[in-house]
Each structure stands twice: as C-alpha cells, then as structure tokens.
C-alpha cells in the first residue's frame, strides 16, 4: 500500500503530500500543502488537489487545482522502491512516508466534574446494515477510519467552585470558556481541537460548535452529558454519533442538508441531503424511515464527499482556526420560491419597517399551515439551522445570516398546526453573527428565509423589506458608533456576558446607558445588561476550575424594569424580559411582585391586541411561570 502522508523539502519549500489511491476506501486523489521555511518560521503558501490522477506502476500523474498561481499545474509522483519523488508547481521534492493517516490533529478533552465522557461503542451491539463489520468504535478510531489521526491529550476534569448551582450552560458562558481556553495559545491556525463535556445546555441541546466571529474559528465544540448520558447500547451509540458529529463541524463539515450553502456550493445527497448515511446527518430526519431507518442502514462512516473534504480539502478550509465555517465568505444567491409548493406550510417574516442605525434588528418568524392541518418540527429559530435567513444589503450583495454558535438538535418533537394551534412563532436577533454586523450601513435591506420541514420540503418566505435610517442628530451618530462595535454585537448575540474578552463591549453599553440613557436605543443596552445580571455566570479560571458568579437580581430588576416600560422592543423579546424580571423579583424574595409582573405581562399583551390564541398561550405561560417561581422559593 502506498496511500498516506508524505513529507519532503526542496530548499526553502516544504511539501506535505497526501496519496489516496489504495487502502481503505480510496478516494482516487492526490493532494498537498506547500509551506515556505525561513529560519525558525514556517509560512503557508497554498494547496492543491488532483481529482483524477492516472495511476500506473511506479507513477502517478494528473493536473492539479491550485489555490495559487502555480508555474506548472501538472503533478507527477514517481515511486521507486522506498524512494518517492514528487514534482509539484515547478519544483521537485524527495518525500518520505510519514503516516498512513492523511492528517493529524491534537484533541484536548475536558469534562466538568459530575459528567462521564464517552468511551467506546461496540457496533454489533444492536442490529445494523449487512456487511458492516462488528467493531469497537471510539471517537479516535472513528476518525482513524476516515484517514484522520486524533491524538488525545491527557483528559482534564474541571472542578466546580461553590455548590447549589444548576450547571446549565448558556451560549455566553460557552463563548467565554472557549476564549479562555484558546487565549493561552494565541490566534494561530493549528491542527488542534478542544472538546468540552459539560452537564447541560439551557436550550436542551446535545452539542454545539464554538464558532464566534473572530479571526480564528472552528477550534472546539461542546457536548452535553445530561442530554446523551446512559449505559445502554442505544445511549452509547448516540453518544458516539454526537461526539463525532460535533467534531466534524470543526473540520468544516456542514450538516447533510446544508451542503448547498457551502462556498463553493456542494451537491446535496438523496432526499435533499436527508438521505445521507453520514455522521453529519440528523438521525431523526433521515429519509426514508427516520431514526429506525438510519440506524438500520448506517455503517458508522462519513460519505465519500465528506472523506474527500477531510483528506484532501485545502489546508485553510480544513485546519482549525483558518477559514470560517462553510469554507469561506457567506455570500449566496437569495432564496427563490419553489416552482411548486404542496407542503401545506407558509413561512412569514415580520420586522419593524425601519430601524435606527445601530439598533438591533430582530426578526419574527411565523410558520403556519395552509388549508389542511399539518405536522412538522418546531425548530424554526435560525440558530438550530433548519431555518436559514438571507440578507440582501443596500449594495446588492446577499449574505447568509450565520449564528455565532451552532446548536445541534438530535431530537425534533412534532408540532401539530391546526385550528387550535394555527402557527408557531420565534424571534431572532439577526443583526450580528459569525461574519460581524449585517446592518451597519443606512439603506434598504431585503430579508428572506427558508425553513426545511420534517419531510424535507423547503418553505421560502416572501421578501421582508426593512430600512436602516441615517442618523439625524449628533447623539444618533455617537450612539450608533457605540452600538456597532464588534464586541457589542457579540453581547447582543449572547444576551450579555461577563467575559473579559468582551470588556470593551460592556463598557460601550455602560456608556450608552450612563451618557445617553434617554436615547431610544438605550433600552437595548439595558436589556443585555439586565438579562446578564439576572442570571448566574460560569467562568473557567486560569487553573481550569469552574467558578460560578451568582445572579444579581437587584441590577437585573433595575434594568429589566426599564425595558418592560419601553414600547420599542418586539413582543417576543418583551415577553422574555418580563419573565426574567419576574424571576429576579422572586430571587429577591418578593413573590408577590413577581406574580404582579406576570399579571402585567398578560395585561400588556391584551392591550396590544394580539390574537386570542396567542393571548391564551401567554396567559398559560404566565401561570406556569408563577408556579415555577413559587416552587423554586419553597
């Protein structure tokens, strides 16, 4: 067998060469990365791939696709015994065999005390496809089968300082944990991954990929033990899939039904991608057959297209901390309405007609049935990635809203849309994401969304136009500058944070409140500060211990009371703010005031004239909140 990784150097040029023409699941390709060596430093130059090389005894030849202007595009590899010579981009390299794996990555895994990291699963423990070998698989061996070597560093256990905390993580805490962990290594591209095994996520997710919009993305992921724990074969199998799936995102692999959103777009597999037998598909959405059909046919491997990416994707498209998720810029074509739509579902978008420059843009999404009742899943929020939002900016460029955190949902509870529950609603802040601010220029914008239903139907909304106004006064200009900083955008996405990495953003929001407290946009600064103060905040310290800052209900009440009195924010955000205000009052020991806040919430929405079905849901929500807060105090 000759497949594997080879390395060699010609003068100041170093070559990492990958030959993939025999062995396990050969992809029939040759690829490589070129670097320049200067003294004690090494710099990346570019990559190439030969998609269909001619393979003869002792000779591999083909025309390469290069990421740079190569003086010669023909690639040839001569093999004479143990001597291997590669002619690439006009230079000749004597290369030596390094590894049967095409790439090698260091995996660091830390687990919060009280969690038990996944160990291994025996694939023959449960029925599977005919011909799939019975073997013991862990995360390392699953990637080894794909040709990727994961070297596992000594696992760490994170102790918790303090007691009585719920240890449910939110996105802000996870963002801070990631910045804290990788701050020790600097902003550099590296074959290095961090996996955090945490207790649970406030949203009930099984896993997420850290992907906030700094210069270096895709460096880590988290899995949530409470959502996947168990010793049964079914639980062990699900844990293996969750771990491999989340780390797959860090290698820049998209979900199976999203590959058409990559740059460049990739073809979708069967059933719009839901028919892929892949680690990157969602088990419950597999077609045909759902979860039983998936496990009956899944051979515990990546698809051929995914293997080609893992083994032969260009360096910056695969290496952690290099190109952003999706392999590059987020520019796309606007979603088009399907030629025929028999889904029986309708997607609508609502937003304010116009926004001040710097005002957070919040989009309300409504999914309703048409004619006959329908059953689908409830993952309507863009952060769960069954819904994509496109934004056409004033200059005509269309970009995809990409959330800071990728939430992976391995369950899809069915939602019945009928006369008693005609629609579901979600509110999404889309002003900032992994690519920064999307609405930082005055002008006309056009928003459109696409929802992927349970049966694979792609429901496209009509265009929702919004206008960002030019600042009028000097204060408008100054407040807009304070609201549009990069850290401020992250704080709005995360609904606040204690992270020292976002200190400048918090100081800017404090200035908005302190100096421009009467400005209409100050309510949004108060919202972020109030929501963050009202909750606890988990912090990974320098000693890799977990410190928990308790809630500050007094400050939360101060800010959220002002928010609840403001008419400027959208209904769904107002609902959230008032429920969190009630919780802050209860934590102060005043259950009477907490209940009064819930009564006020119902009265507020009655006065707004919301439809009776939604109002009934709000009334039930208020009563459930009262009961939960009373139980918490008892």
* CB-neighbour burial class of residue 486 (10 A; exposed 0-12, middle 13-18, buried 19+): middle
Q: How many residues does the structure list for the chain?
A: 634
Q: Is the pLDDT of residue 528 over 70?
A: yes
Cis status, amide bond into 288, omega within 30 of 0: yes
At residue 106, the 3 state secondary structure works out as strand
Confidence band of 329 (pLDDT split at 50, 70, 90): very low
Confidence band of 443 (pLDDT split at 50, 70, 90): very high
What pLDDT does 230 receive?
92
For the residues 345-364, what does the mean pLDDT come to? Answer: 94
Joined together, the tokens standing for residue 546 give: 């977990």
**Mean of all residue pLDDT scores within the chain:** 90
Residue ranges in 109-205 assigned as alpha helix (H): 139-145, 171-182
Q: Is the pLDDT of residue 355 over 90?
A: yes
User: Which range, of 38-52, 76-90, 252-266, 515-529, averages the lowest pLDDT?
Assistant: 252-266
> How far is it, in rounded angstroms, from Cα 111 to Cα 224?
10
> How far is it, in rounded angstroms, from Cα 540 to Cα 532?
17
Q: Is the pLDDT of residue 550 over 60?
A: yes
What pLDDT does 171 receive?
87
User: Which range, of 86-100, 143-157, 313-327, 583-597, averages the lowest pLDDT?
Assistant: 313-327
The order of strands in the sheet holding 546-549 is 160-161, 546-549, 537-540
User: Could you tell me which residues come within 8 angstroms of residue 267 by beta carbon, excluding any fewer than 6 positions away?
Assistant: 259, 260, 305
> Are 513 and 563 within 8 A, CB to CB?
no
User: Could you tell me which residues come within 8 angstroms of residue 113 by beta carbon, excluding any fewer than 6 positions away?
Assistant: 157, 158, 159, 160, 546
Confidence band of 186 (pLDDT split at 50, 70, 90): low
Q: Is the pLDDT of residue 165 over 90?
A: no
Please give the sequence-ordered ranges of beta strands (E in DSSP) within 358-460, or none if there are none. Answer: 362-369, 374-377, 387-392, 398-400, 405-408, 414-417, 423-429, 432-433, 436-437, 443-452, 458-460
Joined together, the tokens standing for residue 527 give: 């919202």
What pLDDT does 331 receive?
44
Domains in the chain with CATH codes: 4-99 (2.40.128), 103-318 (3.40.390.10), 331-470 (2.60.40.3880)
Q: What is the pLDDT of residues 38-67, one digit of tens each?
A: 988 889 999 999 999 999 989 999 999 999
> How far is it, in rounded angstroms, from Cα 255 to Cα 518?
45
Separation of first and last alpha carbons in the chain: 69
Q: What is the pLDDT of residues 462-502, one digit of tens each?
A: 999 999 999 999 999 999 999 999 999 999 999 999 999 89
Number of other CB atoms surrounding residue 415 within 10 Å: 16
> How far is it, in rounded angstroms, from Cα 530 to Cα 560?
5
For the residues 379-404, what does the mean pLDDT come to? Answer: 89
For the residues 403-429, what does the mean pLDDT come to? Answer: 85
Confidence band of 216 (pLDDT split at 50, 70, 90): low
Residue 246: name the closest of 388, 114, 406 by CA: 406
Q: Which helix (H) or strand (E) holds 592?
A: helix 591-608
Q: Is the pLDDT of residue 212 over 70?
A: no
Q: Which helix (H) or strand (E) holds 533?
A: helix 522-534
What pLDDT does 204 receive?
83
Q: Tokens 């944990």 appear where?
A: 177
Q: Could you tell me which residue, 211 or 616, shows the higher pLDDT?
A: 616
Q: Say what the pTM is.
A: 0.81
258 secondary structure, DSSP code: G
Joined together, the tokens standing for residue 59 give: 């000779």
Cα torsion angle, 252, 256, 260, 264, sign: positive
Residue 132: name the closest of 299, 268, 256 by CA: 299
Q: What is the pLDDT of residues 392-413, one digit of tens each?
A: 999 888 888 988 877 777 666 7
Question: What is the longest distance spanned by two Cα atoms in the chain?
Answer: 85
Cis status, amide bond into 427, omega within 30 of 0: no
For the residues 326-346, what does the mean pLDDT come to? Answer: 67
> Are 560 and 597 within 8 A, CB to CB?
no
Confidence band of 330 (pLDDT split at 50, 70, 90): very low
> How far is it, in rounded angstroms, from Cα 188 to Cα 19?
27
For the residues 121-128, what does the mean pLDDT come to? Answer: 95
Q: Is the pLDDT of residue 187 over 70?
A: no
Confidence band of 163 (pLDDT split at 50, 70, 90): very low
What pLDDT does 154 receive?
87
Instruction: Give per-residue burial for 445-481: e unless 16+ CB within 10 Å, then b.
Output: bbbbbbbbbbbbbbbbbebbebebeebeeeebebbbe
Angle value at C-alpha 388, between 319 and 535, nearest 5 degrees: 80
């Amino acid at each position: 067998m000759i497949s594997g990784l080879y390395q060699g150097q010609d003068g100041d040029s170093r070559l990492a060469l990958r030959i993939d023409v025999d062995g396990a699941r050969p992809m029939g390709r040759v690829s490589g990365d070129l670097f320049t060596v200067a003294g004690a430093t090494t710099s990346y130059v570019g990559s190439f791939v030969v998609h269909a090389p001619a393979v003869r005894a002792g000779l591999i030849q083909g025309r390469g696709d290069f990421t740079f202007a190569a003086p010669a595009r023909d690639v040839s590899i001569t093999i004479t015994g143990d001597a291997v010579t590669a002619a690439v981009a006009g230079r000749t390299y004597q290369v030596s065999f390094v590894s049967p794996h095409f790439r090698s990555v260091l995996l660091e895994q830390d687990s919060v005390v009280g969690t038990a990291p996944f160990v291994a699963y025996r694939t023959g423990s449960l029925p599977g496809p005919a011909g799939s070998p019975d073997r013991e698989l862990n995360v390392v061996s699953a990637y080894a089968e794909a040709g990727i070597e994961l070297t596992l560093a000594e696992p760490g256990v994170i102790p918790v300082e303090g007691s009585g905390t719920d240890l449910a993580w939110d996105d802000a805490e996870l963002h801070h944990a990631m910045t804290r962990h990788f701050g020790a290594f600097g902003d550099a591209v590296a074959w290095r991954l961090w996996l955090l095994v945490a207790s649970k996520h406030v949203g009930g997710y099984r896993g997420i990929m850290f992907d906030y919009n700094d210069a270096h993305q895709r460096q880590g992921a988290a899995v949530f033990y409470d959502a996947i724990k168990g010793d049964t074969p079914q639980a062990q199998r699900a844990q293996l899939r969750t771990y491999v799936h989340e780390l797959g995102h860090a290698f820049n692999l998209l979900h199976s039904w999203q590959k058409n959103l990559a740059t460049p777009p990739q073809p979708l597999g069967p059933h719009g991608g839901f028919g892929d037998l892949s680690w990157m598909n969602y088990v419950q959405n597999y077609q045909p057959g759902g979860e039983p059909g998936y496990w009956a046919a899944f051979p515990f491997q990546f698809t051929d297209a995914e293997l080609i990416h893992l083994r032969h994707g260009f360096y910056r498209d695969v290496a952690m901390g290099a190109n952003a998720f999706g392999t590059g810029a987020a520019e796309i074509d606007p979603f088009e309405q399907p030629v025929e739509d028999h889904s029986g579902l309708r997607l609508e978008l609502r937003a304010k007609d116009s926004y001040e420059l710097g005002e957070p843009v919040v989009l309300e999404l409504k999914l309703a049935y048409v004619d006959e009742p329908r059953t689908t899943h409830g993952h309507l929020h863009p952060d769960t990635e069954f819904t994509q939002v496109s934004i056409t900016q004033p200059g005509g460029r269309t970009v995809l809203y990409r959330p800071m955190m990728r939430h992976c949902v391995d369950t899809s509870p069915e939602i019945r849309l009928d006369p008693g529950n005609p629609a579901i609603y979600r509110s999404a802040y889309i002003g900032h994401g992994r690519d920064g601010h999307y609405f930082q220029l005055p002008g006309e914008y056009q928003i459109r969304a696409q929802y992927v239903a349970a049966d694979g139907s792609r429901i496209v909304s009509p265009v929702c136009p919004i206008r960002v106004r030019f600042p009028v006064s000097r204060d408008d200009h100054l407040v807009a500058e304070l609201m549009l900083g990069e850290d401020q955008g992250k704080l709005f996405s995360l609904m606040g944070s204690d992270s020292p990495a976002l200190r400048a953003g918090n100081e800017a929001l404090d200035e908005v409140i302190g100096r421009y407290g009467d400005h209409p946009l100050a309510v949004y600064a108060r919202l972020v500060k109030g929501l963050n103060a009202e909750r606890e905040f988990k912090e990974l310290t320098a000693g890799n211990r977990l410190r928990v800052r308790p809630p500050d209900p007094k400050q939360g009440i101060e800010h959220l009371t002002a928010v609840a009195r403001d008419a400027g924010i959208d209904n769904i955000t107002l609902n959230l703010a008032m429920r969190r205000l009630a919780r802050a009052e209860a934590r102060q020991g005043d259950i009477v005031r907490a209940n009064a806040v819930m009564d006020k919430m119902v009265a507020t929405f009655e006065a707004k004239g919301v439809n009776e079905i939604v109002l009934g849901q709000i009334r039930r929500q208020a009563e459930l909140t009262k009961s939960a807060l009373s139980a918490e105090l008892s």
